[in-house]
Structure 1
Amino acid sequence: MNAQAGDRAAFAGLYRRWEPRFMRLALRLTGNRDDAQDVMQDAAISLSKSIGRLDDPRRFSSFCYAIIRRRAVDKIRRNIKTRAARDTMAGVPPPAEPDTESALAMRQALGKLGETERLMLSLFYIDGYTGAELAAALGVPIGTVKSRLFTARAHLKHIYLNLETGDNYDIQKT
């Protein structure tokens, strides 16, 4: 593939061919045209820089989709931070801080969760993603996001309660 060898014209032609599909993906992930265009701009730069690392040209579309998905997640995170900054400037009070003991127990409980459960809870509760934003960013249906969040919360609650009561809960036993 000439684009992999650094041929800019070859990359431009390849990108033009796939751009409508990529734009539809970015639009689905972000939910609006302006954000999708920003994502596509960032993704095009990343693609042009990283295409040389693509081992199998037949995997071009999945390689690109992964980059677009990451750029969309970055864009959504930036939007959330911007929204939070606006809320702060508008006088919306930040959430109350939990007491130290509870915070420590929660941190320990989170540490005992699996990576996927911890990620889902973190994106939803800490980063402020909505269910729809998570579904778009992860490329799964909203029902799957809800199910995963429900399971992760139930698991976290079980671990947390066992830590609070002094039981030495081991994640491997469940």
Structure 2
Amino acid sequence: MELEVKRAQRGDREAFIRLFRRLEPELYGLAKSILRHDEDCADAFQETTLKAYKSLAALRQPKYFKTWVIRILINECNQLLRSRGRTIAMADPPEAHRSPVYYDDSNKIDLHEAVSQLDESLRIVIHLFYFQDLPVKQIANALDISEGAVRARLHRARSILMERIQRTRKEGLAYETR
């Protein structure tokens, strides 16, 4: 990816297009989880693409291209929400990425559904860490928070998810015994 970024920085439009095509599913999934509406996602993605293209020369470290673009996208999503007077709310990632987690034959919980019920600050960190595979340092840079804050949010989110999973499991077992 770094080589493509360097080519794009030297003015190779095709390299830039290849970079964005490679990142498009991840970026769209992130935008969808923040904005919920396809039209809003398309607007945010278009603005992100334009801003990234115009300021690509300013990117000092090509290895952080993905993090840089994610940060631009998050800012665009937040700007779009502010301009439309809505609050930030993360939705489920697109259906194609959904995968239920099974605990036994009769009881299951959808992981994406459980994540969607988290507070926004926890959802976005979980989404970036687990669904986008970003390391803690890059998440901290993208969200403009400390690495310790990212780790704390991940820990808190995991604890909440585990509690919900255990509760769902117990409720399922209680239901079966009736």
TM-score (ref. length: structure 1): 0.48
TM-score (ref. length: structure 2): 0.47
Structure whose CA Rg is larger: 1
